[in-house]
């Protein structure tokens, strides 16, 4: 399960932001997970709940926003948003497409507190 190493890196990044902003508590972490990111959201949530227990994120809430796949078709020029893992253009059935979004996992928002 690579979700554990992903969460470890995410928490380290959040803690670095907290330290840089003189915050001692992380209250909310919002991430965007693409359909093709290779990350399983349920496992990511479990890993976050497990690894946050120590440190400034121990009470943090994780919000996962799902990023659909966005492809551009070189054949017909259309841009389509897809929920499934398919790179086939739904307009012309071409495989000649380019992925614009949906492969990434991004930290979108971080809420911090200082006492």
Say how far apart CA 109 and CA 65 lie, in whole Å.
Answer: 11
Q: Is 2 annotated as a binding residue?
A: yes
73 is in an annotated binding site: yes
Nearest to 55 by CA among 30, 17, 31, 26: 26
Sheet holding 69-73, edge to edge: 79-82, 69-73, 97-101
Extract the runs of DSSP E, i.e. beta strands, from 15-113. Answer: 25-34, 61-67, 69-73, 79-82, 97-101, 105-113
Annotated binding residue 89? yes
Q: Is 92 annotated as a binding residue?
A: yes
Which parts of the chain fold into alpha helices (H)? 3-20, 41-51
Instruction: Summarize the annotated binding site for Ni(2+) as residue ranges.
Output: 2
Instruction: Summarize the annotated binding site as residue ranges.
Output: 2, 73, 76, 89, 92
Instruction: Summarize the annotated binding site for Zn(2+) as residue ranges.
Output: 73, 76, 89, 92
């Amino acid at each position: 399960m690579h979700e554990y190493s992903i969460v470890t890196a995410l928490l380290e990044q959040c803690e670095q932001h907290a330290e840089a902003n003189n915050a001692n508590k992380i209250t909310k972490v919002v991430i965007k997970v693409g359909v093709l990111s290779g990350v399983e959201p349920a496992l990511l949530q479990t890993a976050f709940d497990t690894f946050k227990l120590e440190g400034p994120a121990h009470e943090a809430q994780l919000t996962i926003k799902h990023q659909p796949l966005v492809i551009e078709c070189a054949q017909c020029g259309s841009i389509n948003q897809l929920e499934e893992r398919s790179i086939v253009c739904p307009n012309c059935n071409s495989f000649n497409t380019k992925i614009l979004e949906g492969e990434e996992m991004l930290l979108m928002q971080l809420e911090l507190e200082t006492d």
